Amino acid sequence: MSAPLTTVHDVPRIGLHDVPRTMLDKLWDAHEVLRRDDGTSLLWVDRHLVHEGSHHGFAKLQARGMQVAEPLLTFGVVDHYAPTRAGEMARDVRHMIDTLARNAAATGIRLFDLRDPGQGIVHVIGPEQGLTLPGLLINCGDSHTSTHGAFGALAFGVGATEVAHILATQTVWQKRPKTMRIVFDGTLSPGVTAKDMALHWISRLGTGGAQGFAVEYAGPAVEALSMEGRMTLCNLSIEGGARLGMVAPDEVTFAYVKGRPFAPRDHAAACADWRALGSDAEAVFDREVTFDAAQIAPTVTWGTSPEEALPITGVVPEAAQSTLEYMGLDAGMPLETVKVDQVFIGSCTNGRIEDLRMAAAVLRGRKARVPGLVSPGSAIVKKQAEDEGLAQVFVDAGLEWADAGCSMCVGMNGDLVETGKRCASSTNRNFKGRQGRGARTHLMSPAMVAAAAVEGRLADVRPLLEGRL
Partner 1 sequence: MSGWSQIKGRAVALDARNVDTDQLIPARFMSQPRDQGYGGFLLHDVRSDDAGHVLNRYAPQVLITRENFGSGSSREAAVYALVDFGIKAVFAPSFGDIFSSNAVNNGLLPARVTEAEIDALIDRLGDDDAAAFVDLGTGEAEIAGTKLQFSVDPVWQQKLINGWDDIDMTAQYAAQITEFRGKRLAAHPWAMPTTD
| In contact, 377 and 344? CB cutoff 8 Å | no
Nearest to 270 by CA among 164, 136, 413: 136
**Cα 280 to Cα 26: distance, rounded to the nearest angstrom:** 10
Question: Based on CB atoms, which residue is closest to partner 1, 270 or 385?
Answer: 270
Question: Based on CB atoms, which residue is closest to ligand SF4, 170 or 378?
Answer: 378
Q: Identify the residue among 34, 284, 331, 395 touching partner 1 (CB under 8 A).
A: 34
Binders of ligand SF4 among residues 58 to 97 (CB under 6 A) are 79-80
Binders of partner 1 among residues 99 to 158 (CB under 8 A) are 130-131, 133, 135-136, 141-143, 157-158
Binders of ligand SF4 among residues 390 to 409 (CB under 6 A) are 406, 409
| Residue 371: how many other CB atoms lie within 10 Å | 12
Q: Identify the residue among 412, 444, 454, 464 touching partner 1 (CB under 8 A).
A: 412
Vertex 80: Cα angle to 90 and 324 (nearest 5): 95
Residue 410 near ligand SF4 by CB under 6 A: yes
Nearest to 425 by CA among 437, 406, 408, 411: 408
Question: Based on CB atoms, which residue is closest to partner 1, 46 or 128?
Answer: 46
**Cα 148 to Cα 139: distance, rounded to the nearest angstrom:** 9
Which phi and psi (to 5°) does residue 76 adopt? -115, 150
Binding mask 420-439 for partner 1 (x = CB under 8 A): ---------x-xxxx--xx-
Q: Identify the residue among 428, 435, 441, 445 touching ligand SF4 (CB under 6 A).
A: 428
Residue 144 near ligand SF4 by CB under 6 A: yes
Residue 347 near ligand SF4 by CB under 6 A: yes
Binding range to partner 1, per CB under 8 A, among 181-189, 238-246, 292-300, 368-376: 238-246
Minimum CB separation of residue 99 from partner 1 in Å reads 9
Which phi and psi (to 5°) does residue 272 adopt? -60, -40
347 interacts with, out of ligand SF4, partner 1, none, CB within 5 to 8 A per kind: ligand SF4
**Cα 464 to Cα 68: distance, rounded to the nearest angstrom:** 52
Helices (H), 275-370: 321-327, 347-350, 353-363
Helices (H), 32-90: 55-63
Binding mask 97-136 for ligand SF4 (x = CB under 6 A): ------------------------x-x-------------
Minimum CB separation of residue 431 from partner 1 in Å reads 4
Nearest to 354 by CA among 257, 229, 234: 229
Minimum CB separation of residue 303 from ligand SF4 in Å reads 18
| Residue 261: how many other CB atoms lie within 10 Å | 9
**Cα 195 to Cα 359: distance, rounded to the nearest angstrom:** 13
453 interacts with, out of ligand SF4, partner 1, none, CB within 5 to 8 A per kind: none
Question: Based on CB atoms, which residue is closest to partner 1, 5 or 86?
Answer: 5
Binding range to partner 1, per CB under 8 A, among 18-26, 31-39, 351-359, 446-454: 31-39
**Cα 436 to Cα 418: distance, rounded to the nearest angstrom:** 6
Question: Does an H or E element contain 191, and which?
Answer: none
Minimum CB separation of residue 264 from partner 1 in Å reads 4
Residue 162 near partner 1 by CB under 8 A: yes
Which phi and psi (to 5°) does residue 97 adopt? -70, -40
Vertex 407: Cα angle to 429 and 259 (nearest 5): 95
Contacting positions for ligand SF4 (CB under 6 A):
79-80, 121, 123, 142, 144, 347-348, 406, 409-410, 428
